[in-house]
């Protein structure tokens, strides 16, 4: 490059902007916390257009020589351009020559020159020195010993991608299509309305209608909007919650501790924390009932937290089995009790004992029903199911000859 002047890129091309150039930058600064020493003036500051560069004016001694790069020519703007015109020019040129889109060998160097030109012209102090002394004076501290630049020396930081990211507020429209080393930068929240689009040139034209080569573009049209990748909610995290029949009968509240990752206030880093979830179990709830705690799962910058779901499961009971709102109880009686009659004491879920007279012959599998002694109905807790008693008969392992003879004499044959 040296002191050679760059060819004008895009000077005279027509551009249009979908919204005022300063709108996006203003809202971002208002939302952010100001740096120490930085006031509201940084939000609403408007740089007046500086005087045209003295280095290109005719003087009594003849024209002043152009020293180094012509930043105005690089951006394709006149020397009297204002702040908004400089921003528009940079936006257009940076998108046109971004290496992720433009595959010409010279694109990388042009992209860097564009960034350097914007870095100088967008800063009033740098621009003033450049207009007075040119590139050489800007970078060496003034063109003459009596120059007003003092001890200021400018050096471009050398990373055009950092300038690009800063300009777009941390957004890179090209990362959607490329997995280059630059795409690892923290870009988010890109708004395509911030781009200037030439009527005769689509800045994303190299990617085809849907952003990739090889697909038919169809008729010429404005680029379709690009949006940040939509977050997807993680699948539900399901836990089995075992409950006793007594808890279902009376209703209860269980406390469950979960450990999960949550986002810190910066929205990027995460922390591990414990949380106690209070699960209210209502009377009569059936096995399989689901209790959902929305979005209480792990949170990361890239996801929507999963729902935490608890599914009721009946604990095995020492005496009862559940059948909906009915409760089953197995009563074991002897053969003598089955034949001669008896009274069986039946326990209930609430701790009472109900005597059940059995005067008829009880066969194995005989069922008796105690109305209203079961579990509450979920929708009408004042109503209850039944306590169903299933009889089992315990037979003797063997009989004496005398007992066998007596049974033969007294029991019917059929």
CATH number of the CATH domain containing 255: 2.60.260.20
Tokens of 143: 């063109």
In a domain, 4, yes or no: no
pLDDT tens per residue across span 12-67: 433 333 444 433 333 333 333 434 444 333 333 334 444 444 444 433 333 344 45
pLDDT tens per residue across span 271-314: 999 999 999 999 999 999 999 999 999 999 989 999 999 999 99
> In this structure, are 66 and 22 located in the same domain?
yes
> In this structure, are 251 and 338 located in the same domain?
no
Range of the domain at 178: 15-207
> In this structure, are 306 and 330 located in the same domain?
no
CA distance 345 to 352: 10
Query: What DSSP designation does 384 have?
Result: B
Neighbours of 103 (CB within 10 A): 8
> In this structure, are 359 and 306 located in the same domain?
no
Predicted local distance difference test score (pLDDT) of residue 134:
85
Mean pLDDT of the region 121-149: 75
Q: Would you give the end-to-end CA distance of the chain in angstroms?
A: 118
CA distance 398 to 405: 13
In a domain, 347, yes or no: yes
% of residues, the chain, pLDDT over 90: 49
- Does residue 174 have a pLDDT over 60? no
Of the pLDDT bands very low, low, confident and very high (cuts 50, 70, 90), residue 261 is: very high
> In this structure, are 60 and 203 located in the same domain?
yes
Where a domain ends, among 292, 314, 336? 314
pTM of the model: 0.45
Domain total for the chain?
3
How many degrees, rounded to 5, is the angle at CA 180 between CA 179 and CA 186?
80
Q: What are the CA-CA distances from residue 230 to residues 126, 269, 316 (Å)?
A: 41, 19, 45
Neighbours of 181 (CB within 10 A): 8
In a domain, 215, yes or no: no
Of the pLDDT bands very low, low, confident and very high (cuts 50, 70, 90), residue 166 is: confident
pLDDT tens per residue across span 194-236: 444 444 444 444 444 444 443 444 444 444 444 567 889 999 9
> In this structure, are 290 and 324 located in the same domain?
no
> In this structure, are 259 and 380 located in the same domain?
no
Predicted local distance difference test score (pLDDT) of residue 254:
95
> In this structure, are 239 and 288 located in the same domain?
yes
Beta bridge partners of 274: 259
């Amino acid at each position: 490059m040296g002191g050679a002047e760059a060819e004008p890129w895009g000077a005279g091309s027509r551009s249009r902007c979908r919204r005022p150039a300063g709108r996006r930058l203003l809202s971002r600064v208002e939302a952010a916390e100001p740096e120490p020493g930085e006031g509201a003036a940084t939000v609403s500051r408007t740089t007046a257009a500086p005087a045209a560069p003295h280095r290109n004016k005719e003087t009594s001694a003849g024209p002043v020589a152009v020293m180094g790069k012509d930043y105005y020519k690089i951006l394709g703007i006149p020397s009297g351009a204002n702040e908004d015109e400089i921003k528009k020019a940079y936006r257009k040129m940076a998108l046109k020559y971004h290496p992720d889109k433009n595959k010409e060998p010279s694109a990388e160097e042009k992209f860097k020159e564009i960034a350097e030109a914007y870095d100088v012209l967008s800063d009033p102090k740098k621009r003033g020195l450049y207009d007075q002394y040119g590139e050489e004076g800007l970078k060496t501290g003034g063109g003459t010993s009596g120059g007003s630049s003092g001890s200021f020396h400018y050096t471009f930081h050398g990373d055009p991608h950092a300038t690009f990211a800063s300009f777009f507020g941390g957004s890179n429209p090209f990362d959607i299509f490329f997995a280059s080393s630059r795409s690892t930068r923290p870009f988010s929240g890109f708004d395509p309305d911030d781009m200037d689009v030439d009527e005769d040139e689509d800045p994303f034209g190299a990617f085809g209608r849907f952003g990739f080569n090889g697909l038919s573009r169809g008729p010429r049209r404005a680029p379709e909007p690009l949006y940040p990748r939509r977050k997807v909610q993680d699948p539900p995290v399901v836990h089995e919650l075992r409950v006793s029949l007594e808890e279902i009968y009376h209703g209860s509240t269980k406390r469950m501790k979960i450990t999960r990752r949550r986002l810190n206030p910066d929205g990027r880093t995460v922390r591990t924390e414990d949380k106690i979830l209070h699960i209210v179990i209502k009377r009569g709830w059936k096995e399989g009932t689901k209790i959902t705690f929305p979005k209480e799962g792990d949170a990361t910058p890239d996801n929507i937290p999963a729902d935490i779901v608890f599914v009721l499961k009946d604990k095995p009971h020492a005496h009862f089995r559940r059948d909906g709102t009915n409760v089953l109880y197995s009563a074991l009686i002897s053969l003598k009790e089955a034949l001669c009659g008896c009274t069986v004491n039946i326990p209930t879920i609430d701790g009472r004992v109900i005597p059940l007279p059995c005067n008829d012959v009880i066969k194995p599998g005989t069922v008796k029903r105690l109305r209203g002694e079961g579990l509450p109905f979920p929708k009408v807790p004042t109503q209850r199911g039944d306590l169903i008693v299933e009889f089992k008969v315990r037979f003797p392992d063997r009989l004496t000859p005398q007992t066998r003879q007596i049974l033969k004499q007294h029991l019917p044959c059929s």
